[in-house]
Amino acid sequence: MKRLAVPILSLILGLSSASQAVEFDRAAFMRMATTTVRIEALAPDSHYNMGTGVIVAPGRVVTSCHVTGPAPSIRVLYGGLRYSVKKQRADVHNDLCMLDIPELEGAPAEVGSTQSLHLGDQVIAMGFTGGYELQFADGVVRGLHSEHGFPVIKSSTAFNSGSSGGGLFDTNGKLVGILTFRLRGTGDCYYSMPVDHFKNWIGSMEGFETPTVLDHEVPVWQAPYEKQPPFLQAAFLEMTKNWAKLESLSMDWTRKEPHLADAWLALGRAEVALQHPHEAMQALQKAVEIEPLMTEAWYALALAYKAVHQDKDYADIHQKLETMDVALATELERGETTFATLQPQK
């Protein structure tokens, strides 16, 4: 993973110095940088939330509700100027807020769709780390988790605080997701909410209201455990190392959704941690049979093979990961076997 902190102008002029970024169309890369804005949200207690947003239409910026939600006063910083947000439309459950700033002039990002994404696709993320420096990170799609009809995107495009609300772009420069929270573990993995949720808001004023404190609901990833979808429940159990409960959850999940690779991956991870390598291999082989490009399942399967000294199978997977997901291949070499720590991105 290559991470660079550079001003927008330097980012555009010095693009050739970023070894991974040259795989993306240069014109598209420049558009990504110039559609990214900073967000300042002032809460009633005078606390500032700093985040990122993406211009998706003239006078329209999309960001994360956990950035703007605590604040009735929101400003967008772009081109050296600050613009006050007049109206906001919120989907707190999916952590997506669209801001209306009629005075803001800037070329919008081209909004794509998660329907075009596949496991292993290259993606690039843009955000203001710490709220000040524009950074990009390239990586791959590691998961597409169904939630309310559209997949939440898990990728290896790691970022630090301040990048929430930033954009996840495909190799054509199309916006496919909004950076929302991260899952530490087998490589820093970001979860991005899909653009499909807000595409039909762009040309309408329906649902827009004067900004206010959004404290009536919490995003799905911040909801109580029992109200979260299975993939987030599994993440919480990994975070707390409650492997026995993860095993129980995953067994029930695989019974209910036997054709879902995520369920078999969760079960395999639990069995690896419980030192049940043969059970782990069965579950993980099922996962990669369903989703051959699920690199995290291959990674866990390699750990299971290593535990029973099936060195050739382990080596074969390591070679496979070197072509599919270099970060996971590197972790495999280092013997890093921890899985998950859930953290928001603000």
What is the per-residue pLDDT across 268-306, written as a single tens digit (0 to 9) for each? 999 999 999 999 999 999 999 999 999 999 999 999 999
Specify the higher pLDDT residue, 19 or 323: 323
Q: Is residue 317 over pLDDT 60?
A: yes
Q: Tell me what the mean pLDDT of segment 129-138 comes to.
A: 83
Considering 180, 196, 220, which residue would you say is the last residue of a domain? Answer: 220
> The CATH number of the domain where 229 resides is what?
1.25.40.10
Phi, psi of 28 (to 5 degrees): -65, -40
For the chain, give the mean pLDDT: 86
CA distance 189 to 259: 24
Q: Are residues 189 and 256 in the same domain?
A: no
Considering 200, 220, 240, which residue would you say is the last residue of a domain? Answer: 220
pLDDT score recorded for residue 146:
85
Q: Is residue 7 over pLDDT 70?
A: no
Q: Which domain holds residue 139?
A: 1-220
Considering 193, 220, 247, which residue would you say is the last residue of a domain? Answer: 220
Q: Tell me what the mean pLDDT of segment 234-239 comes to.
A: 88
Nearest to 14 by CA among 134, 178, 121: 134
Q: Tell me what the mean pLDDT of segment 53-77 comes to.
A: 94
Q: In the Cβ-directed half-sphere of 297, how many Cα atoms lie within 13 Å? A: 26
Q: Tell me what the mean pLDDT of segment 157-168 comes to.
A: 88
Count the domains in the chain: 2
Q: Tell me what the mean pLDDT of segment 232-240 comes to.
A: 88
Specify the higher pLDDT residue, 130 or 187: 130
Nearest to 33 by CA among 131, 133, 100, 116: 133
